Amino acid sequence: MTQWHHEDDVCWIADCEVCNIPMVVWRQHGTEPPDADVDHMMRELTRVADVVFEGQEWSIDRNMRQIPDHFHAHARDKNWYFRRFNR
């Protein structure tokens, strides 16, 4: 089971099963959410990532690689790739 961080009517945030980092997923299907929903999701992802990464440097990656037809974004710290392949 993956770690869940947030859930509301717009989105949910949990640790990505592939990357093991926080990922926000839009509850609606599609790739182009309204600006208000994007702003909300980025704000919530930022809040969660600030707690998870405890002051470490991180950034938002909106490239939808694994699921290109459903909006989602990852909060990536500098070491995510190393942790992914060494767990």
Whether residue 12 is contained in a domain is answered as yes
Residue 78 predicted with pLDDT over 70: yes
pLDDT per residue as tens digits for the range 38-62: 999 999 999 999 999 998 999 999 9
What total of structural domains would you count in the chain? 1
Q: How far is CA 2 from CA 36, 55, 65, 73, in A?
A: 27, 22, 19, 16
pLDDT greater than 80 at residue 85: no
Residue 5 within any structural domain of the chain: yes
User: pTM to 2 decimals?
Assistant: 0.90
Q: Is residue 15 part of a domain?
A: yes
Residue 45, in any domain of the structure: no
pLDDT at residue number 66: 83
H or E stretch covering 46: helix 35-52
Residue 1 lies in a domain: yes
- The pLDDT tens digits for 10-38 are 999 999 988 889 999 999 999 999 999 99
In a domain, 24, yes or no: yes
